[in-house]
A and B are shown apart, each in its own frame.
Chain A
Amino acid sequence: MKRTSNILIVAALAGGAFLASCGNKGPHHRNPGKIYAPDMYESRAYEFYSARLASMKPVEGTVKRGAMLPYHLKAEDTAQANLGRNPLVLDKAGLDEGKRLYDIYCGVCHGQKLDGNGPLYKGGDGPYPAAPPAFLTGKVLGYTEGRIFHVITYGFNVMGSYASQLDIEQRWKVVGYIKNMQNGGKAPEAPATAAPVADSATAAAPVVAAAK
Chain B
Amino acid sequence: MYRRVSIRLRKQFVSVLILCAGLVCSISNAQAADPGAGKTLFQQNCASCHNVHKKLTGPALAGVESRWADKALLHKWIRNSASVIASGDKYAVDLFNAYNKLPMTNFPSLTDADIDNILAFVQQEESKPVGGDKAAAGGGAAGADGKDSGNNSLLFGIITLILAIVAVILMQINSNLNKLASEKEGHDTIEPVPFYKNKVYIALCILVLFIVGGYYTIQGAINLGRQDGYMPEQPIFYSHKVHAGINQINCLYCHSSAEKSKHAMIPSENVCMNCHKAVTEYTGPDLFTAEGKKVNGTAEIQKLYDHIGWDKDAGRYTKPAQPIEWKKIHSLPDHVYFNHSQHVSAGKVQCQTCHGNIQDMDEVKQFADLSMGWCVNCHRTTKVQFAENNYYSIFEKLHNDVKSGKVDSVTVEMLGGTECQKCHY
Contacts and interface: CB of A to CB of B under 8 A. Distances in A.
A188 interface: no
Contact of B51 (A19, A129, A132): A129
Interface in A1-20: 5, 8-9, 11-20
A154 interface: no
B339 interface: no
B47 A124 contact: yes
Contacts of A25: 227, 229-230
B277 to A, nearest CB: 6
A165 B272 CA distance: 12
A131 B43 contact: yes
Nearest to A10: B213
B377 interface: no
Interface in B211-245: 212-217, 219-221, 223-227, 229-233
B48 interface: yes
A120 B47 contact: no
A206 to B, nearest CB: 30
Contacts of A71: none
Nearest to B43: A131
A28 B269 CA distance: 28
Contact of B210 (A5, A48, A119): A5
B313 to A, nearest CB: 15
Contacts of B269: 55
Q: Chain B interface: which size bin?
A: 35 or more
Nearest to B323: A54
A29 B328 CA distance: 14
Interface string A155-168: 00111111011110
Nearest to A155: B274
Interface residues of A, number: 66
B225 A30 contact: no
B284 A105 contact: no
B24 interface: no
A130 B323 contact: no
A33 B271 CA distance: 32
Nearest to A42: B331
B229 A29 contact: yes
Interface of chain A: mostly helix, strand, loop or mixed? loop
Nearest to A117: B43
Contact of B268 (A8, A36, A127, A164): A164
Nearest to A124: B43
A151 interface: no
A145 interface: no
Given A19-B224, A126-B247, A127-B283, A48 B253 contact: no
B407 interface: no
Interface in B195-216: 206, 209-210, 212-216
B80 interface: no
A119 B271 contact: no
B216 A19 contact: yes
B220 A20 contact: yes
A211 interface: no
Interface string B342-369: 0000000000000000000000010000
Interface in B325-345: 325, 328, 331, 333-335
Interface string A29-57: 11111111100111111001101001100
B270 interface: yes
Given A29-B229, A108-B250, 17 more contacts: A9-B206, A15-B217, A16-B213, A19-B216, A23-B220, A23-B226, A29-B230, A36-B224, A40-B335, A49-B325, A124-B47, A127-B282, A127-B284, A130-B51, A158-B278, A160-B270, A162-B274
- Chain A to chain B: the 6 pairs with minimum beta-carbon distance, closest first: A19-B220, A16-B216, A12-B213, A131-B47, A160-B274, A54-B323
